Structure 1
Amino acid sequence: MGTKSVGLRKLQSATAAGLGMVAGVIAAVAAHRGTLDAINRRLEKLEEQSDNQQWSNRAMQQRLHWELLSKAIDDPDLAEVLDLYEVPVTERQRRQYLFANALYTNLLWNHRMGNYTLDEFFKHARGIFQNPVAREYWEATRHQRDSLEGTEEAELGNLIDDLLLRLDEADTEEWWVVGEPPTDT
């Protein structure tokens, strides 16, 4: 009987030790899980900050673009540096083309930042390109857009090219109804 008691006590001790070990493992896993959750929350916050920083950088870049164009519009000597047009242009045309570029870039960035849907981009472009100077600018910069093949900007440029073709072929004075706005996907 004494042997059974000792055996039973050893079994109980082993069971208690095993349960203690399992409880310890569970506590360690729980603590580890808490640490992993904290790390995941921190990574999500860092990703969010990174996204905000990217948008901040893009906004800064757009501001710099406008400042450079403004200087070129105001100073004919600086504007000559940006004269990459396929045809010779006068100083006045160059300044107008630089401004048309600023309008288009603003439209492009409004779409990229989500301020305009693709439909809204299309409708604003349809308005901008009613102006003959904006159309001249578009044609004079065709070779620059051709170099963007395969990019989002090239796709948007093709959308405008198609729109301008439809506007030229339209037999209506109601330009605001010409062309089917694309659907956002």
Structure 2
Amino acid sequence: MVTQKRGIRGLSSAAAAAGIGMVAGVLATMAAHRHTLESLRLRLEHLEQTAHTQQHTNIANQQRLHWELLSKAIDDPELAEVLDLYEVPVSPKKRRQYLFANALYTNLLFYYRIGNISRDEFFGHVRGIFQNPIVREYWHATQQQRASIANSEEAELGLMVDDLLRQLEEADIDEWWVVGEPPGDQ
């Protein structure tokens, strides 16, 4: 009988050792998976940061190109005629002013898109530049162009500016800086 008990004990010890080995293997596998997941998470964060930086670089390059094209059109009335898409005929002088108004607005738009200003700050700057009657004329003259863009952040901001301009034109006060409710960052 003593032999049988030793055999069962031996088997029990072997099973326990196998169980401990299996648990150790599972723990080692889990640690390796955790390390792999952490490496993937760090790599993904790096890629997201790189993509974000690349997006800002692309926006900055686009803004530079936009300004170069507008500058050429402002300096050369013949080139400016290519950009004359206004709803009413405008003089060469007015066209140059509209092109500059476009540059001012687009600069604010790009500044907002790369995160240099908040939506509230964008709203405040727009409220300021719309104190100029030429900028207001430009905005009205380009209404059809803005209507062609939809379902975008730019279209949403354009609608916000349309509403602000309507409020500014209806206001009976000289304190333009209090007209309109800033939209809050979204």
What is the TM-score when the length of structure 1 is the normalising length?
Answer: 0.91
| Moved beyond 6 Å, runs of 4+ | none
Shift of 1:54: 1.1
Shift of 1:145: 0.8
RMSD: 1.7
Residue 162 in structure 1 maps to residue 163 in structure 2: yes
Shift of 1:91: 1.3
Letter in 1 for 2:18: A
In structure 1, the residue matched to 2:97 is 96
Partner SS for 2:166: helix
In structure 2, the residue matched to 1:144 is 145
Shift of 1:36: 1.8
Shift of 1:111: 2.0
Partner SS for 2:124: helix
Give unmatched runs, 5+ long, in structure 2: none
| Number of residue pairs aligned between Structure 1 and Structure 2 | 185
Shift of 1:55: 1.4
Q: Distance in 1 between matches of 2:34 and 2:14?
A: 30
Q: Deviations over 1:47-68 (max 9, x none)?
A: 1111111111111111111111
Letter in 2 for 1:81: V
Q: Distance in 1 between matches of 2:160 and 2:135?
A: 16
Q: Distance in 1 between matches of 2:163 and 2:26?
A: 66
1:38/1:77 CA distance change after superposition, 3 Å: same
Partner SS for 2:70: helix
Q: Distance in 1 between matches of 2:97 and 2:15?
A: 89
Pairs within 5 Å for 1:122-141: 122-141=123-142
Partner SS for 2:144: helix
Q: Distance in 2 between matches of 1:17 and 1:154?
A: 66
Give unmatched runs, 5+ long, in structure 1: none
Letter in 2 for 1:53: Q
Shift of 1:84: 0.9
Q: Distance in 2 between matches of 1:67 and 1:95?
A: 14
In structure 1, the residue matched to 2:74 is 73
Question: Once the two structures are aligned, what percentage of the paired residues are identical?
Answer: 64
Letter in 1 for 2:145: Q
